[in-house]
Structure 1
């Protein structure tokens, strides 16, 4: 009998890959919390494709306390996941939050019934090909990164023997901001232009991106992140090496008419800038424009 009870909340690309990989360990007893019943999940990795049986709950009222919750909803959907968290969590539970942005603890703790909140940075590409079919692509380096400490070691143990590599960092805040810096240009610009990453080959888009990044870097430093003098240029240079045909989550959400995760991205920069007394006009402009799109999407039947 598996010893670690784990609930994965959210079965999109990130959650689907997490659920599939966690299910590969015989030490884990995994339950997926999703809107619909799914009994099997097809998992593609490299050239392999396997079918993984799933235990799924679609009613939060039937959920019982677990050792671990792996929260994989979009940041703006935390409140709607609250009924799951309230039933799954006790003070002995740890909630690993696999979401974009910063301030994971502030976002999740009010709904977690006294559970420990462990923020995680997601580097892997999890693509949802169908409701019951996901694909894992490794980007580079670790697939997940968490703050160093005892909870980090316990979290990494959940993925031992699976395709997911979990890293630990003593300077987690800096890595959070570096991931955020990529997201504050990639997501809003692809969503607003409705173009994939190839749009960043334009020199005017590169100039705009550098200005957005420099503004965000100043806020990140004030927030305690150890960012380099050439951080904005280094982020853009790395970003330009990504495949031009790739899209972003916000690009796909925009095309599909779904609400957008803007508050956790450029909104996080604006909020932190306000806290530190720093101006953020470009990130504020991105936030305003994308909130307008997101609000319109939310009203569309």
Structure 2
């Protein structure tokens, strides 16, 4: 099992970042960007810039029959996952490895429910500071990808992906407990993404003492309680490690949800506060901080049209 070519569905911040990185190392023919016809026309017309450089991408239409990809990466927002899955069906064969770089703990269940779980690896991404405004992406840190099987077996898929990431110089780790890692990342996103959106700030605003940083920490503590009730051994002591990672990011950068509210795009609040509130109710755990963040983000989104 060797990965020689990649299909990417979605050209948001991560799709562009990984797409450009892979094209630079594998060549334009080995990387395909999959989209519908209208979106492809728009990409070609407007162009895409990554750190000031024009991106040369090979676009393929979703309805075009073709050889399956060795690796398929979903890099859309959760709000666009359903249409992304429909667009990806011609990319998948029996040997295709499927990876989702979406936030939260839900996308793998949705993708696996459609294509089966046998070819899917669980994944989180962290440590990048990619910021997309219009058709321009800027970033300094590529971050790293954590991936593995749900049962933590070092399968042939896991080995093949590790070998591929070594070849293309993408930093990665294979955690001992993948589902713990997924919840840990949900914890940081629930704190950082939502607090920067609600307090209208960047990473710098949560790197210093104050209400935004306090809210980040309080929201993360609620995730710990919910995770524990779901049988995941998340610990409050892990919060400090995530704060250290975020404190090292470019202060002028901002997470995806803050970028969304700035550009009046739908957010992934249902993935973060939505998930924690729902599971909190299930287990009888109060989630006042996530209730506050959820309400505020709904207010921000409802004001877009005014």
Question: Which structure has more strand as a fraction of its residues?
Answer: 1
Given candidates 95, 102, 105, the residue that maps to 2:105 is 102
Q: 2:295: which partner in 1? A: 288
The aligned residue for residue 190 of structure 1 is 196
Q: 1:195 deviation in Å? A: 1.9
Who is 2:146 aligned against?
145
CA change 1:139–1:88 in 2 (3 A) is: closer
- Say if 1:8 and 1:15, in contact at 8 Å, map to a contact too: yes
Match of 2:172 in 1: 166
Q: Distance in 1 between matches of 2:101 and 2:283?
A: 26
User: Using a 3 Å threshold, how does the CA distance of structure 1 residues 135 and 254 change in structure 2: closer, same or farther?
Assistant: closer
Q: Secondary structure at the match of 1:145?
A: strand
Contact 2:28 2:58 in 1 (8 A): no
Change (3 A) 1:275 1:87: farther
Greater shift, 78-87 or 248-257, is seen at: 78-87
Residues in 2 aligned to 1:180 and 1:70: alpha-carbon distance in whole angstroms: 19
Paired position in structure 2 for 1:60: 62
SS at match of 1:78: helix
Q: Measured at CA, do residues 41 and 203 of structure 1 come closer, stay the same or move farther in structure 2, by a change above 3 Å? A: closer
Of residues 151, 160, 164, the one that matches 1:154 is: 160
User: What's 2:115 paired with?
Assistant: 112
Q: Deviation of residue 247 (structure 1)?
A: 1.7
State the alpha-carbon separation in 2 of the partners of residues 19 and 272 from structure 1. 35
**TM-score of the superposed pair, with normalisation by structure 2:** 0.80
Range that drifts further, 255-264 or 144-153: 144-153
**What SS does structure 1 have at the residue aligned with 2:167?**
coil
Q: Give the TM-score normalised by the residue count of structure 1.
A: 0.81
- Deviations 1:41-96 (CA, angstroms, capped at 9, x unpaired): 6655xxxx876642102x32125333321100012210121321233234543220
Q: What's the offset of the Cα at 1:242?
A: 4.1
RMSD in angstroms over aligned alpha carbons? 3.2
CA contact (8 A) 1:11 1:33 kept: no
Secondary structure in 1 matching 2:147: strand
Cα distance in 2 for residues equivalent to 1:165 and 1:232: 22
CA shift for structure 1 position 8: 0.4
Query: How many pairs were matched up?
Result: 290
Question: Does the residue aligned with 2:161 lie in a helix, a strand or coil?
Answer: helix
For structure 2, which runs of at least 5 residues remain unmatched after alignment?
none
Query: How far 1:144 moved relative to its partner?
Result: 0.7
Q: Find out whether 1:218 has 2:241 as its counterpart.
A: no
Residues 87 and 277 of structure 1: CA distance in aligned 2, closer, same or farther (over 3 Å): farther
Unaligned runs of 5+ in 1: none
**Cα distance in structure 2, aligned partners of 1:210 and 1:50:** 37
Partner residue, 1:122? 125
SS in 1 for 2:166: coil
The answer on whether the counterparts of 1:86 and 1:111 sit within 8 Å (CA) in structure 2 is no
Q: How does 1:81-100 map to 2 (within 5 A)?
A: 81-100=84-103
Query: Which whole-Å CA distance do the structure 2 matches of 1:53 and 1:233 have between them?
Result: 40
The alignment status of 1:263 with 2:262, answered yes or no, reads no
Cα deviation, residue 234, structure 1: 5.0
State the 1:135 CA deviation: 4.4
* Whole-angstrom CA distance in 2 between matches of 1:223 and 1:27: 43
Deviation for aligned residue 1:224: 3.5
- Asked if the contact 2:221/2:236 (under 8 Å) is kept, the reply is no
Q: Is the 8 A contact 1:90 1:114 kept in 2?
A: no
Whole-angstrom distance in 2 between the partners of 1:156 and 1:192: 37
Q: Secondary structure at the match of 2:168?
A: coil
Q: Say whether residues 1:16 and 2:16 are aligned partners.
A: yes
